[in-house]
Structure 1
Amino acid sequence: MQLFMNKWFYFLVNILVVTLIFFLFTPKYDLENYINTWFYVFLLSLVAILFLFIKKGGFFDGLAFSFRRFGSMMSKKKKDYMGEWKDKPAPSQTINTTFYRNLRFLVWMQIVILLLLMALYYTI
């Protein structure tokens, strides 16, 4: 179980996934297509880490609280007299910090790999 919490394990899995995607879906095996594959995977990781960053900052807390309150007030099927919607955790409190740190490390390592590949591409 400790292996899955290791950030280097995620990095090695990322390298394997990118290489597998490269060999399965690119029409021509060259450095340019490999860099493009890295960029696509990096872009997905970047979107995920930015969403988690915004969620961790508490941006969606007020919106989620308002929707929960509105739903409990307007629901005709289930009356929530005890106010259970007030006790539910905010979205910013439900983030797994270990996963967030590992994904952040992965994004930084992908930036380094992309920069190294771009330097190699432009020197050749």
Structure 2
Amino acid sequence: MPGPVLHSTASATCPHGGALNIVAASPRVMVSGLPVAVVTDQGIVAGCAFTLPSGTPQPCVTTRWLVGSTRVLAGGQPVLINPCVALCMSAPQIPGGPPIIAGSQVRVVAT
């Protein structure tokens, strides 16, 4: 499915409202003057307040990108597109749900 290519400063959150920051490891390919995000890039979540029904805090801390573009690569890795296929993960690697991409560039589209 085609979608806009995500970049390192795309506006994103975890499903519980924590801010998601995409750390582009290879800033050689750019869109709108910003490094593109690829499936091997780290997604760091800050400020997630999710708590289990038992009262145990289980905040999202990272993001695991599952699928990227099937046809467009940057540095040999698939670029991330919106809508993205990913999961926000807690410290013990328990999935918390998919990230929410609220804003990104719209000029470059990949499949």
- The question of a shared fold, defined as TM-score above 0.5 by the shorter chain, is answered with no
Q: TM-score, normalised by structure 1?
A: 0.23
- Structure with bigger helix share is 1
